[in-house]
Amino acid sequence: MNYCVVGLQWGDEGKGKVVDVLAEHSDIVVRYSGGSNAGHTVVVGETKFALHLLPSGSVRPNVSCVITNAVVVDPDVLIKEIETLAQKGITLKDRLLISENAHVVLDYHKREDQLREESLGKKKLGTTIRGIGPCYADKAGRSHAIRMGDLRNLEEIKAKLQTIVEYKNKVFAAVYNTEPISADRIYEKCKSYADQFLTFTTDTTEFLHRSIADGKSILFEGAQGTLLDLDHGTFPYVTSSNSSSLGMPAGCGVPAKMVDKFIGVAKAYTTRVGAGPFPTEQDNEIGQYIRDKGNEYGTTTGRPRRCGWFDAVAVSYSAKIGAIDEIALMHLDTLAGLKEVKICKAYRIKEDRGQKTEDRGQKTENRRETRPAEASRGRTTWFPANTAKLSQASPIYETLPGWDDDITEVNDFHKLPSNAQNYIHRIEEITGKKIAIIGVGPKRSQTIFRAEGRRQKTEDRRQK
Ligand code: IMP
Ligand code: MG
């Protein structure tokens, strides 16, 4: 089986853990987009790993780890990550492959990211300042790009860096009035990257196709989340790559039809780091409760994450464009102790210049609910991935009773408090997707597998 695991919200859904659990049955794990802006936490026994660039499955010592073409590689971060794993007794020797066509994040990218964010003041995007956007911009611009395979020819890189750094320094001085950076210093770093990484650098597309032909099982790991996708997310408050599952085929050269199952990961609530619209945000004591209990602070930047209710409109959209087969719903334990829990099942969006926001599905629902025509105006169950529209959206909630019990030791769906089961069922009904995996804590063992999800739901109802 080949799986693709992808986030359905704004990142940090708990993909790291889902991937780690699935990697047990995989031969190869693949990172196909983004860079060290990602932060994946994996807990093995008592040891916690915070990974940024390596696939989360790399903590399993027997799997091959592949970083493909569309990933932007910061070799400084990669070196640190490899060392951290080595200190914990995990080696990547002979099992790491990096695409020769993956672009390299260099110091000037990080500098540019930081300077641009600072210059934007209140209008900043809230990036991770890892140089991701500037590196992808150079990739699209082509003439200033450096790829992993280029490290094979250091003479050429030396000449190229002179041109690039001269240009960057002119911009840094003219626009940001800052000190120049040294091309020689970056060249020295490139030399050391060549020493350390050329043995891992290869044609990963060929490797993946050969592996598929040999019947190996591959796990494709998404980074960030669908709503941060450059083309399909909440632009400009997005990352600079196709972080949805749509980015998988382009990112690694393997067609989506070679994937047997797409698993979408969502949290039982919603979080977002950085700026941008967030309709279900709870900037109040509920948000704080979730932040503290769920330890919602960024793995990469340490920033407190914005927290809010589960947004079924957003998740349904992500599931639709991502051809998601099943949902993994993480952090269900975090919601314990709340008197009531809410699911956003539609938005009301002020109609703009005669735009009709009502969709067909909603019309049927409104008829059923015999809503007055007035009340249904501007109501939609389709997520507008357009920031101007989305910032006008007010959530329409369904409120459900909460549960008090600690569920962190529960390993069977039927042993969950009935209100928690009910919460899961409602999310399944609203999104139309099966919730096959439920996370009740950070450890591998704190995972409920519910392969019979849908059938069980029907049975449960029959029993009622
Ligand atoms: P960048 O990817 O560093 O350019 O940041 C752009 C936006 O994406 C910011 O709002 C970041 O907080 C967000 N972002 C990038 N990577 C992640 C991630 O792994 N999890 C959550 N948010 C992310
Ligand atoms: Mg993260």
3-state DSSP of 11-77: CCCCHHHHHHHHHCCCCEEEECCECCCCCEEEEECCEEEEECCCCHHHHCCCCEEEECCCEEECHHH
Q: How far apart are CA 20 and CA 50, in angstroms?
A: 12
Evaluate if residue 286 carries a pLDDT over 90.
Answer: yes
- Quick one: pLDDT at residue 379? 95
Give mean pLDDT, residues 392-396: 97
Torsion angles phi and psi, residue 89, rounded to 5: 85, 15
Q: Does 239 contact ligand 1 (Cβ within 6 A)?
A: yes
Instruction: For the chain, give the mean pLDDT.
Output: 92
- The atom of ligand 1 lying closest to the CA of 274 is 10
For residue 149, what pLDDT band results from cuts at 50, 70 and 90? very high
Establish whether 12 is a catalytic residue: yes
Residue of 167, 333, 136 whose CA lies nearest to 146 = 136
d(CA 456, CA 347): 30
Task: Report the pLDDT value the prediction gives residue 178, as an integer from 0 to 100.
Answer: 94
Range from 35-39, 115-119, 248-252, 362-366 carrying the lowest mean pLDDT: 362-366
Q: What is the pLDDT of residue 352?
A: 58
Q: What pLDDT was estimated at residue 279?
A: 98
How far is residue 111's CA from residue 106's CA, in Å, rounded to a whole number? 9
Question: pLDDT band at residue 42, thresholds of 50, 70 and 90?
Answer: confident
d(CA 2, CA 214): 13
Mean pLDDT of 97-109: 98
Q: Which amino acid is at 273?
A: V
Answer whether 34's CB lies under 8 Å from 71's CB: yes
β-pairing, 340-349 with 379-380? antiparallel
For the ranges 37-46, 116-125, 191-200, the lowest mean pLDDT is seen at 37-46
Evaluate if residue 16 carries a pLDDT over 50: yes
From atom 11 of ligand 1, which residue's Cα is the shortest distance away? 127
Q: Given pLDDT bands bounded at 50, 70 and 90, which one contains residue 310?
A: very high
> Average pLDDT, stretch 89-114?
97
CA angle 341, 342, 344 (to 5 degrees): 160
pLDDT in tens, 216-225: 999 999 999 9
pLDDT of residue 302: 86
Task: Report the pLDDT averaged over residues 68-86.
Answer: 96
Query: What pLDDT is recorded for position 353?
Result: 55
**Residue 52 known to be catalytic:** no
Is 397's pLDDT higher than 60?
A: yes
The average pLDDT across 371-383 equals 74
First to last CA, the chain: 36
Q: What is the CA radius of gyration of the chain?
A: 23
Give ∠ CA 447-302-45 in degrees, rounded to 5.
Answer: 35
**Token code pair at residue 193:** 């990257």
Q: Ligand 1, residue 130: give the atom nearest the CA.
A: 3
* Alpha-carbon span 120 to 462, nearest angstrom: 57
Least confidently predicted of 247-251, 431-435, 460-464 = 460-464
With a 6 A CB cut-off, is 101 part of the ligand 1 pocket? no
CB of 228 within 6 A of ligand 1: the answer is: yes
Residue 410 CA to ligand 2 centre (angstroms): 25
What is the separation of C-alpha 123 from the centre of its chain, rounded to a whole number of angstroms? Answer: 23
pLDDT value at position 45?
Answer: 84
Q: Which residues pair with 344 in a beta bridge?
A: 311, 397
Please list the residues that pair with 158 across neighbouring strands: none
pLDDT band at 458 (very low <50, low <70, confident <90, very high): very low
SS3 content of the chain, % helix, strand, coil (to 5): 40, 20, 40
The yes-or-no verdict on residue 171 having pLDDT over 70 is: yes
> Pick the residue with more confidence: 362 or 347?
347
Given a cut of 50, is residue 456 above it in pLDDT?
no
CA of residue 15 to ligand 2 center, whole Å: 8
**CA 218 to mean position of chain CA atoms:** 18
Between 228 and 50, whose confidence is greater? Answer: 228
- Nearby residues of 211 by Cβ (< 8 Å), 6 or more positions away: 27, 28, 64, 218
Q: Is 270 in the pocket of ligand 1 (CB under 6 A)?
A: no
Strand-pair category, 3-7 with 261-267: parallel
- Whole-structure pTM value: 0.91
| Strand ranges in 312-392 using DSSP code E only, listed in sequence order | 326-330, 340-349, 379-380
CA atoms within 13 A on the CB side of 219: 27
Decide which of 351 and 383 is more confident: 383
**What's the rounded Cα separation, in Å, for the pair 266 and 322?**
13
- Among residues 12, 20, 138, 311, the one annotated as catalytic is 12
Residue 126 Cβ inside 6 Å of ligand 1? The answer reads yes
